[in-house]
Amino acid sequence: MQERIVIVGGGAGGLELATMLGRKLGRKKKAKITLIDRNSTHLWKPLLHEVASGALDSRLAELDYRGQSAREGFQFLVGTLEAVNKDEKSIQLAAITDEQGHEVLAPRSIQYDRLILAIGSVTADFGTPGVSDHCYFLDSLRQADEFHEHLLNEFLRVNQSIEDGENTKLSLAIVGGGATGVELAAELIHSVSLLSIYGLSFLDQKHFEVRLVEAGKRLLPALPERLSAS
């Protein structure tokens, strides 16, 4: 009987592991490799700031798990992990429902011989009051798309206000001066410079203010100081 290796989480770690094991073991039928993720496609997380700013169409950068699995010798299942039973060596996946709440797939139990959890992480708000209620996060494609839609609406609103003669400014704060925060700030400034091409000729960089907030002593604290200075 083939060894059953189950990987939960199709991020950069889980997807690469499934691909490597699929090539090494799955194609040769030495093991059954199964990758499970709640989404059907993968988008490399460091690209989310480009989706949020509108610099990247996510559909052009997404990788389809089923296509990858067919090419690389592993199986893909869509599902959300609900529980792990170590004694029975099984995991429980939640039911899948459509937008109307109708059940598409009932809850499922998946058996394993080896289990790897690669479910990643999410942004911490450190218990700061108001953050979870009023801030946008960039942990997923859905969140990036939601922010982008809101940003476009704000661009339209402010552009119209300026055209109507109001002294309006759009201000935006980004908390976190790591690579994502710095790159998002740069992409947003660049996106405003292009608005006139799309008919929003009144909103420009004079009416757009970005504040980048970082708890450390410098931006990009994990990178060399020369990059922070730049």
Q: Helix or strand or coil: residue 212?
A: strand
Confidence of residue 177 (pLDDT cuts 50, 70, 90): very high
CA–CA dist 214, 179 (Å, integer): 11
Per-residue confidence (pLDDT) for residue 1, from 0 to 100:
82
- Break the chain into its structural domains and give their ranges: 3-117, 131-229
Domains 3-117 and 131-229 share a fold: yes
Per-residue confidence (pLDDT) for residue 72, from 0 to 100:
97
Mean pLDDT of 212-228: 92
pLDDT of 137-165, one tens digit each?
999 889 999 999 999 999 999 999 999 99
Task: Give me the residue label for tokens 């700031």.
Answer: 49
Confidence of residue 17 (pLDDT cuts 50, 70, 90): very high
User: In the chain, what percentage of residues exceed pLDDT 70?
Assistant: 100
Listed ranges 5-19, 40-54, 205-219; the one with the highest mean pLDDT: 5-19
Evaluate whether 69 touches 75 at the Cβ level (below 8 Å): yes
Fold of domain 3-117: FAD/NAD(P)-binding domain (3.50.50)
For residue 196, pLDDT over 80 is answered with no
Per-residue confidence (pLDDT) for residue 83, from 0 to 100:
97
Per-residue confidence (pLDDT) for residue 121, from 0 to 100:
86
Evaluate whether 18 touches 74 at the Cβ level (below 8 Å): yes
pLDDT of 73-98, one tens digit each?
999 999 999 999 999 999 999 999 98
Task: Give me the residue label for tokens 């059907």.
Answer: 40
Mean pLDDT of 187-204: 85
Per-residue confidence (pLDDT) for residue 206, from 0 to 100:
87
Q: What is the DSSP letter of 27?
A: T
Mean pLDDT of 5-15: 96
Evaluate whether 41 touches 64 at the Cβ level (below 8 Å): yes
The CATH number assigned to the domain with range 131-229 reads: 3.50.50
Handedness of CA 178, 44, 136, 185 (dihedral sign): positive
Q: Helix or strand or coil: residue 200?
A: coil
- How far from 105 is each of 55, 94, 97, 98, 173, CA to CA, in Å? 35, 9, 7, 10, 41
